[in-house]
Amino acid sequence: MTMKIAFLASQAESAERAKEDLARRYGNAPLAEAEAIVALGGDGFMLHTLHGTQHLSVPVYGMNRGTVGFLMNEFSPDDLTGRLREAEEAVINPLSMKAGCLDSTVHEALAINEVSLLREGPQAAKLRITVDGRIRLEELVCDGALVATPAGSTAYNYSAHGPILPIGADVLAITAVAAFRPRRWRGALVPKTAQVRFDVLDAERRPVMAEGDGQAVRDVEWVEVRSEPSIVHRLLFDPGHGLEERLIREQFV
C-alpha cells in the first residue's frame, strides 16, 4: 500500500540530489495531502521544517544530509515507506517567547530547542529571573541565560553545561551562560507549566538580545518564556533510535 510522502530539502547540494531521487522513487505529494513529511538536511533544517509545517497534523521524519543530525535518521533511499510505517513517534511542544524592547515594541516567537538571552556588548548582562510571578534570582551577572525544552537540552543548553532532560520530563531547564555572579549558580529545573521571566537590568548600558531557534530580537528589556501546549510537533525515528534513546545515549559519551 502506497503512502503519500512530501519531501523537503535544505539548500545543500546533497539534500537537493536526495530529494530528486526520492521523489522519483516514491512520488512527491503536496504538503496538504501528505501522510508524512520527509525533511532532508541537518538539525537546523529540521527545526525550519517543524516551524513551517506546525499548522499540519503530519509527522515529520528527518534524514541526515547535514552535519549534526541529532534530530535526523540515517539516510537511506531504500524501503522508505516501510521505515515510515515502523517508525517511533515523539511528540514535543515548543516554547513561546514574548520579548519587550527598549523602543516599546513587543515581539513573539516560537522555539523548539531553547529561548536564549545573550549580551550584545562588551559588558556582562545583568538579569533578574522570575518564575510564576515570584523573583527567584535578584541579579544574575553573566554572558546570558536560556530556557531549554527536553528536546533541545542536548543543544546550546548542554554546551552551556545545562542538564540533559528525558524527553518525557515535564520540566524546563534554566541555564546560565558563563555566570560571573553568583558563581556557583548552576541553573534550575522548573515545571513545564511555569512561566519564566527575565528582566534586563541596566538594559541601555548593558544591551541584551533574545533568540528563539534563530529568530533574534535585539535590545530587549524583558523576556517571558513558557511552554506552548496548543502546538504539537510529531517527530518520527527509526525503531531503537528514538529521541528518548538518543537523549540517554548522549549522557554516556
Which residues does residue 252 pair with via DSSP β-bridges, in sequence order? none
132 is catalytic: no
Neighbours of 178 (CB within 10 A): 14
Contact indicator for 201, 126 with CB cutoff of 8 Å: yes
* Residue 184 neighbours by CB under 8 Å, 6+ apart: none
Cell match 527598549: residue? 102
How many angstroms separate the CA atoms of 150 and 129, rounded? Answer: 20
Decide: 60 and 53 in contact? Cβ < 8 Å: yes
The b-or-e profile of 209-246 (16+ CB within 10 A means b, else e) is bbbbbebebebbbbbbbbbeeebebbbbbeeeebbeeb
Q: DSSP assignment, residue 181?
A: B
Catalytic residue among 21, 43, 78, 143: 43
Residue 17 contacts residue 64 (beta carbons within 8 Å): no
Instruction: Please state whether 41 falls in left (phi above 0), alpha (psi between -120 and 50) or beta.
Output: left
How many beta carbons lie within 10 A of that of residue 129, not counting itself? Answer: 21
Active site (catalytic) residues: 43
